[in-house]
Amino acid sequence: MRSRLTGFFVAYNVRDGPLKSGLRLGYFSGYPLNGPSAIPPMALTDILIRNAKPGKKPQKLFDGGGLFLYVTPSGGKLWRLKYRFGGKERLLSLGAYPAISLKDARERRDEARKLLAHDVDPGEHRKAQKAATLARAADSFEVIAREWFAKFAPTWAEGHSSKIIQRLERDVFPWLGARPIADITAPELLTVLRRIEGRGALDTALRAKQNCGQVFRYAVASGRAERDPSGDLRGALAPVKHENFAAIVDPAQLAELLRAIDGFKGTFVVKCALRLAPMLFVRPGELRTAEWTAFDLEKAEWRYLVSKTKTEHLVPLSAQAVAILRELRALTGQWRHVFPGREPRKPMSSAAINAALRRLGYDTRTEITGHGFRATARTILHEELHFKPEVIEHQLAHKVPDALGTAYNRTKFLNERRAMMQRWADYLDELKVDAKLVPMVNAR
């Protein structure tokens, strides 16, 4: 009888006005926590909870087993669980209504009761879970990937590093970023890579796999993962057929291009870069970001760090190259970069050389690119001018081990390279004068 009367007052007061801080509702607060999990006869309902109105003081609507809804004067409805552990009364927050429904709150209460049955404090258990979650978040794939990137990006070329972080941000982080790195499996990684393959970006998928492998190995080395799952995906991705950069290796066709460059109607800065590109045959990024402090025009030398290997490289300058640079220095010598862009404090755009070649009427996908001048020089220097491959490769700043096992050395074959660079510049001048004097070679 007492239960019905208490339930009557609960319902009546909820419908007709704010509950008083009365104790008739407090009857259920004494419901034994360690007793059966059956719901009391007049437990809370969703209707009662939705219709509960705030009063001047906080209200408590008990459901049984220590669970109650705490109604604040401002209208908030918060689930709380009162329990005893170690002889002391404790209170546990279970969330807010309606985000946590009555059913959810009861399930959370029952989970807490199970912990108590095993002598585990639900409050301390939650703290431990939260700490573990934070620790796992700190070891998420994205956190470790960005840590790896920050550590190694300063040793990479700017263009290379920007491509890596953009690839990770676009294709990997949205799906794996929040996952604890130690929990990521090979099939899970493959699903992400398959998504990249699905849009036809086979090369991007392969590079994403390589970058992920680097991140996993960094995590292993720093004690936050046990293995690199990307190694299990060997052969799982579609093979990529790499195409060489378009290049002209026919002397007659090269002569036509050189004459077209001399007639270029664009800016003087871009025209100088175009004239130097085949003459110096360095990587396009190294040419466009060249700085005046790296040049010694009296010694006819250009020293810089190779963008791919971060090793020092020396380019002997021909008399023709020095003449072009002296003329250009009168225009851009006050700036840091030899080839400044529209914003003088920044270098020329990475697309400038190829855009200029297209303006001259050349297809940069099938005929010639700024990078293709390297293949042009490599082929003609060996096949037409008969310079030794090892001399050419050193001038290209490629790592070519010799009989002693030493790799690229910036000063190796320096005298031969000086002679080769001058002969190459002279040869280019001869081509422009009369291409018929030069034997033809088959284009590759």
User: Which positions are catalytic?
Assistant: 283, 308, 371, 374, 398, 408
Distance CA 391, CA 7 (A): 97
Residue 361 and residue 260 in contact, taking contact as beta carbons nearer than 8 Å: yes
Q: Sign of dihedral through CA atoms 195, 200, 204, 206?
A: positive
154's tokens: 């300063």
3-state secondary structure 247-262: CCCCHHHHHHHHHHHH
Selection from 254, 280, 279, 261 nearest residue 437 by Cα: 254
**Phi, psi at 315, each rounded to 5°:** -115, 110
Q: Kindly report the number of other CB atoms within 10 A of residue 310's CB atom.
A: 11
Find where tokens 């009989």 sit.
403
144's tokens: 């470790």
DSSP secondary structure code for residue 57 in this structure? S
Distance CA 196, CA 164 (A): 15
CA distances from 303 to 156, 294, 300, 329, 345 (A): 18, 5, 10, 17, 21
Find where tokens 């005893």 sit.
84
- Judging by beta carbons within 10 Å of its beta carbon (0-12, 13-18, 19+), is residue 56 exposed, middle or buried? exposed
Q: Looking at this protein, which amino acid is placed at residue 316?
A: P
Is residue 145 classed as helix, strand or coil in its secondary structure? helix
Residue 216 and residue 342 in contact, taking contact as beta carbons nearer than 8 Å: no
